[in-house]
Amino acid sequence: MKLADALSYVLVLLLIISCFLFPVAFVIWTSLRSHGAIVSGLILSTDYTLEHYYNVLFMPGYAFTKAFTNSLIASIVSTILTVVISFPAAYSIARFKTGGGTLSSSILLIRLLPPMVFAIPISVLFQVANMRDTLLALILVYTAFNAPLDIFVLKSFIEEIPIELEEAAIVDGCSRLQL
């Protein structure tokens, strides 16, 4: 009976994995086929090419490498900025009970609002500040939208650390900033 259970478990897992991997494999397979093979509707063909990848990377009119670089810069900078802003806020809320019990709930409620609610006000704000279509504006938006969730997660993490560890560090000569 155990072998049958294990076999059925493995089969179910393989089915679930294939449901997730099949679309990815299909997209990769289709991207490697030539344009003529895709348009003709032939399922099996021997005409494979890297032309589509070349077109995306090097064809005039596409700015993929610039867009990818901008996305990478915006993501890295906004992640660092979000952590730098969120950690002190989360520490303050967790250890000093800043804002009572409602501040952390209010911060999380901001995250629950759909981002489209803020689209027009943010667009107008950036237009007035001459920051529209800039990398800095994108970084600020990413940081503003991710900070509430980071504060909530980091607050929970900090609350799990025993206060006695911090007290022992303070007795040993650490300041609050060194903690």
Whether residue 103 is found in the same domain as residue 162: yes
- 89 in the same domain as 41: no
pLDDT exceeds 80 at position 46: no
Q: What's CA 148's distance to the chain center, in Å?
A: 14
Enclosing domain of residue 50: 2-58
* Total number of domains constituting the chain: 2
Residues 83, 23, single domain; the answer is no
Nearest one of 32, 154, 157, 27 to 82, comparing CA atoms: 154
**Distance in angstroms (rounded) separating the CA atoms of residues 24 and 29:** 9
Same domain, 74 and 150: yes
Is pLDDT above 90 for 158?
yes
- Residue 71 pLDDT: 95
Residue 29 sits in the same domain as residue 105:
no
CA-to-CA distance for 158 and 95, rounded, in angstroms?
8
pLDDT digits 0-9 by tens, 96-151: 887 767 777 787 788 788 888 999 999 999 999 999 999 999 999 999 999 999 99
Last residue of a domain, one of 19, 43, 58: 58
Determine, yes or no, domain membership for 179: no
Q: What is the pTM for the complete model shown?
A: 0.73
